[in-house]
Structure 1
């Protein structure tokens, strides 16, 4: 029988809700997590996204009970769990390392936790069968882990976590060991599984693609705090800071003085105008434009607009499958990336003279002190 989809609830005292109330975790003088607060709704798929060292795994370990916060409180299903050890919390954790028992069969691995709880044998058989059905692994029940592929082993690890029917499933970069194609397949399967079961998923990853493709909301972390909490569309199209803009997707950054009543950046090679004034004239600022918003064409020696257009020279061409990517030098110390769908991409080669342009509505403006240190494209000097 099909399992009906369950949508996230708005009640924070229901089974599956998680509240982090000002939690802090220090290691010596360093704060791994710093006064972090977050409310997760029952049945929600939320991702903690950020680079190594941002505090996402430490946060997950505190929810699981493997670490104890130095300050703050953690509530699961409306009840504080600070005094409870991991095995008494209504959560299960799936790690990147599958940690399956090699001498046990798939079914025995899944049944292990139930047997430790002295669950009746008839119930164990029924629940193991259901758990394996959830991940489409019933036909592999008698195999040993060494006889399975990486993706199949990951499904068994998920089944073992789900068989206990936790209110919250914690996933610590569980797809990191898989190759790209299998990882993308598992992303789809994970989201479908979570939608069917209605279990709260808290997913830790440094892979923006995973977070964007699966999450109801994404908490982007920086230095132990949440920089932005929003759905995927908002995080991608309306990042709250240059840090978020740089980490989610890729950006071309142009830095310089703010002009044009707060809507323009006078960078050394191009004047960049945004769709709305958000800065103060005369101060230092930065503009960001995603590569997919950059139009590129051969240079026809025609006059260029005063803003959002620049001449350059192609110094790199990459075929990315559905898109073509061009690296363009626009000066001695800056390059930019343009990315176009393959069917409409111009046929360009190394050293071709080109014009790059973009619309004001595709420009994001940030103050200069909002450092884009999470990633993004920071152009090297051209050679």
Structure 2
């Protein structure tokens, strides 16, 4: 048997190629604050030029993970590599990363151009190069015509663009974004989501985006890391995270779900619940027969009708206790029993003409059913059970 020598175990001395600039590797990192374990033995590899989101509720460890990449926190264990080099012990200003925060932290006494140029001036970049790079960075975010204004003369969305420009002007290998859109109103936030994705695609810079907003993560990310208790519960692209969650926790946090709690039938063909016998397309293999389980159906997969549908589809009878017009869709709240309601969403042109108080049949295809092990994680993920009739104000 051969024995590894010190030279065999030493890291390779060859420098990384330019194509690997922007790669981030988190190698079993952990971070503890007193008795609280904020990040627990987490490993993640981020490819150069990837847009990845760390998604999860407050306290899941996503912001602590970002701060460790940035250098504002040091892990208690593990290693962090940026562009192939360990950055442990390297201060934030010496790492090839920049961070954009929810609080933009612009200097109020400086103009927009001076704010963007500040980092370059600290690095003693030549003045001619500063002017060129500031103009280019402001053009990226369509803010050059505001170059002479002070931050107080800008809207929230314009200040966000300046903060982004200030981060990009340094041409970092990795851009870290910590809930940067949280202070914006809904319309402006959606506009900035599109702009961020376009800028990232154009520049090819690695983006690591922290958010608790599932819509932001789904619309912008190449991959999403759904976090729970300092670990990654699921890492996948948006389609997989939304359409094939691996646990009730992920299913509850990403998108909206209707959960039916019960037990797997002896033949493993269904989940027997107080309000419906919920049958998936295939026998249940993720939960043992007779064990507690959660069946999940998304609101857009639930059909509604005033009469019992023909065929052997999954069925549940109830009555309408709420109707909401959401523009392109109509949302119906259907009470199936004293303590159980479901949400159904139908495209507005095809939505049934049902009103509050009407009897209604809910049906859904077996292919739309997902079954998970029983888990209190839905509540931990912020899932709110649809209200029952007693909680709905009278019309």
| TM-score normalised by L of structure 2 | 0.91
Aligned partners of 2:98, 2:387: CA distance in 1, in Å? 44
Question: Which string of whole-angstrom CA distances, capped at 9 and with x for unpartnered residues, describes residues 97-124 of structure 1?
Answer: 1111111111000001101111110010
Question: Which string of whole-angstrom CA distances, capped at 9 and with x for unpartnered residues, describes residues 287-320 of structure 1?
Answer: 000000000111x3x4776661011110011111
* Residues 257, 267 of structure 1: 8 Å contact kept: yes
Question: Which string of whole-angstrom CA distances, capped at 9 and with x for unpartnered residues, describes residues 63-116 of structure 1?
Answer: 000001000000000010002011100000000011111111110000011011
| Helix, strand or coil at the partner of 1:156 | helix
Aligned residue number for residue 222 of structure 1 = 228
Aligned partners of 2:365, 2:267: CA distance in 1, in Å? 18
* Residues 13, 77 of structure 1: 8 Å contact kept: no
Consecutive unaligned residues of structure 1, counting only runs of 5 or more, are: 1-10
Over aligned residue pairs, what C-alpha RMSD do you find? Answer: 1.7
Using the TM superposition, give the Cα deviation of residue 343 of structure 1 relative to its aligned residue in structure 2, in angstroms.
1.1
Aligned partners of 2:71, 2:269: CA distance in 1, in Å? 48
- Range with bigger deviation, 362-371 or 64-73: 362-371
Aligned residue number for residue 294 of structure 1 = 302
Question: Which string of whole-angstrom CA distances, capped at 9 and with x for unpartnered residues, describes residues 321-371 of structure 1?
Answer: 111100000011101000001111112211011111000000000111463
Question: Which string of whole-angstrom CA distances, capped at 9 and with x for unpartnered residues, describes residues 139-181 of structure 1?
Answer: 1111111111111110000000000000000000000000000
Aligned residue number for residue 148 of structure 1 = 154
Question: Given the alignment, which residue of 81, 101, 104 partners 1:95?
Answer: 101
1:378 and 2:385 aligned: yes
Aligned partners of 1:57, 1:257: CA distance in 2, in Å? 37
1:295-334 alignment runs, 5 A limit:
295-298=303-306, 300=307, 302=308, 308-334=314-340
Question: Given the alignment, which residue of 8, 23, 33 partners 2:29?
Answer: 23
| Helix, strand or coil at the partner of 2:234 | strand
Aligned partners of 2:235, 2:24: CA distance in 1, in Å? 15
Taking structure 1 as reference, are residues 260 and 382 closer, same or farther at Cα in structure 2, changes over 3 Å only? farther
* Residues 271, 306 of structure 1: 8 Å contact kept: no
Aligned residue number for residue 3 of structure 1 = none
Aligned pairs, number: 372
Aligned residue number for residue 84 of structure 1 = 90
| Helix, strand or coil at the partner of 2:378 | coil
Aligned partners of 1:378, 1:226: CA distance in 2, in Å? 25
Taking structure 1 as reference, are residues 322 and 94 closer, same or farther at Cα in structure 2, changes over 3 Å only? same
1:205-216 alignment runs, 5 A limit:
205-216=211-222
Aligned residue number for residue 106 of structure 1 = 112
1:238 and 2:212 aligned: no
| Helix, strand or coil at the partner of 1:169 | strand
